[in-house]
Amino acid sequence: MSSPSHTPPRTGQLKPKTDWSSVVLAPVHFIMGLADRPLRLLQKRAGIGGMAAFFLAPNMLIFGVFVLLPIIINLIYSMTGGSALFLSERSFVGTDQYAKLFDCKSYLDPMSCQEDAFWTAVGNTFWFVVLQVTLLILFSLITALILNRELMARSFWRAVFFFPVLLSPVVVGLIWKWILQRQGLLNFALYPMGFEPYTWLSDRTFAFAAAVGVSIWAHMGFYTLILLAGLQAIPKDLYEAAEMDGTKPARIFWRITLPLLMPNLLVVVVLALIRAVQVFDEVFVLTGGGPGTSTLFLTQYIYETGFVSQPRNAGLAAAASILMGLVLVVLTLVQLGIGRKNENKGKR
């Protein structure tokens, strides 16, 4: 959005042609025009500064009620117990919920913990984040490098890799559930090679691998796009100069491309981390967290503890979500730090 090119403001209606968009917009303009009279009165009362508050109010009101307020009362929730929904009916228990989450004999063995599901989810999420982000960035980088070459129909190929990004997580989950099932495409592809049909998603290891693979499939295009933009921002004359000096392609990559892409790469890594920590939708539809707890991740743990389990345990879910929030806040601060550093570099 950084390169706006405004058409100069039209002075009066010079175009004699019927402008259909104005015909369509006429009723909208009429309604907005009706609002003008009372708002003029308001402006007289409140002044121009007051109008600023008026413009800001709806957004801030919604934002305050549905975003800020929940953040604050989430803290309070995490310190209450019982199965009641409303805060007024809940008993204050201090840090009991956190103590319950952290009550473990050994942190390396989820089964030794009181909330074994939480630690299973933490462990799964950790491995998911490590694997998914590494592979995701690797594939996105390779794809971006390839799309940055002199290529026939580049925008078509870019679209190919971007396509799954827009699909809904439910659709993504169902597409792959269909492919990985017993009569699915994967078994069909393996059949000629002598493999017997297999229900892939009932296999603990494979279900986890599928969760990683499917989420890479779904999100790769997004990161490819950002990296490609970064690659295209690298000045071409650097490459020309290197080529004239007869520099080897590998050396060009390590000495020019990678260092100059580094700021983008870091941002992309942190963005991918932030999103991987919250993994839920597509995996939930694909595996439902199973088989067993092999693909149970943090967000699903929070959802099931707070909304599905009987009795619901909102306090425990809130405490778990605050812990997850802390991780995300740290990651975002790192990202902002990187962004600032990049900006400063640009200024110098």
Partner 1 sequence: MSAAIRFLTRRKGGKGWHWTDIVTWVWLIGGLFIMFGPAVWLAFSSFKTPQGLAEFPPSILPYVTQQVKVEGYEKPLMLYNAKMPDGSTRVLAEVRRIGIVSQMVDPKAPGEVIKVNIGDRQPVREVFFATENYTQPFMQFDFFRYLWNSVFVTVTATLITLIVNSMAAFALSKYEFKGRNLAMLTILATLMVPLSVILVPLYSIISTVGLFNSLWGVILPTVATPTGVFILRQYMLTIPDELIDAARMDKASEWQIYWRIIVPLTAPALAVLAIFSVVWRWNDFLWPLIVLSRRELYTLQVGLSIYAGELNVQWHYILAMTVVTMIPVVVVFIFLQRFITTGIAGSGLK
Residues 234-253 binding partner 1 (CB under 8 A) are 249
**Cβ contacts of 346 within 8 Å, gap of 6 or more:** none
Which residue among 19, 26, 40, 195 contacts partner 1 (CB under 8 A)? Answer: 40
- Residue 129: name the closest of 139, 137, 118 by CA: 137
- Residue 220: name the closest of 131, 139, 277 by CA: 139
Chain positions 156 to 195 lying near partner 1, rule: CB under 8 A, are 157-171, 173-179, 182-185, 187-188, 191
Chain positions 115 to 144 lying near partner 1, rule: CB under 8 A, are 142-143
Comparing CB distances to partner 1, the nearer of 113 and 220 is 220
Chain positions 68 to 107 lying near partner 1, rule: CB under 8 A, are 68-71, 73-74, 77, 85-87
Chain positions 306 to 345 lying near partner 1, rule: CB under 8 A, are 306-307, 314, 317-318, 321-322, 324-325, 328-329, 332-333
**Cβ contacts of 105 within 8 Å, gap of 6 or more:** 112, 113
**Cβ contacts of 137 within 8 Å, gap of 6 or more:** 223, 265, 268, 269, 272
| Distance of closest approach, residue 157 Cβ to partner 1, in angstroms | 6
Comparing CB distances to partner 1, the nearer of 108 and 196 is 196
Which structure tokens are listed for 314?
């909102």
Which residue among 1, 24, 108, 244 contacts partner 1 (CB under 8 A)? Answer: 1
Q: Is residue 104 classed as helix, strand or coil in its secondary structure?
A: strand
30, with CB counted inside 10 A (0-12, 13-18, 19+), is: exposed
Chain positions 200 to 229 lying near partner 1, rule: CB under 8 A, are 217, 221-222, 225-226, 228-229
* 34 forms part of the interface with partner 1 (CB under 8 A): no
* 60 forms part of the interface with partner 1 (CB under 8 A): yes
| Distance of closest approach, residue 134 Cβ to partner 1, in angstroms | 18
Comparing CB distances to partner 1, the nearer of 55 and 92 is 55
Number of residues that bind partner 1 (CB under 8 A): 107
Which structure tokens are listed for 41?
């009165």
| Segment interacting with partner 1 (CB under 8 A) among 60-68, 106-114, 128-136, 239-247 | 60-68
Comparing CB distances to partner 1, the nearer of 35 and 108 is 35
Instruction: Categorise residue 17: left if φ over 0, alpha if ψ from -120 to 50, beta otherwise.
Output: beta
- Residue 261: name the closest of 286, 298, 294, 227 by CA: 227
Comparing CB distances to partner 1, the nearer of 20 and 66 is 66
* Residue 282 · residue 172 · CB < 8 Å: yes
Chain positions 275 to 304 lying near partner 1, rule: CB under 8 A, are 278, 280-281, 284-285, 288, 299, 302-303
Comparing CB distances to partner 1, the nearer of 132 and 187 is 187
Amino acid (one-letter) located at 91:
S
Comparing CB distances to partner 1, the nearer of 123 and 197 is 197
Comparing CB distances to partner 1, the nearer of 78 and 120 is 78
Amino acid (one-letter) located at 74:
N
The residue whose two tokens read 């986890």 is 208
| Distance of closest approach, residue 263 Cβ to partner 1, in angstroms | 12
For residues 278 and 275, give the distance between their C-alpha atoms in angstroms, rounded to a whole number: 5
For 294-327, give the DSSP string. Answer: TT--HHHHHHIIIIISSS--HHHHHHHHHHHHHH
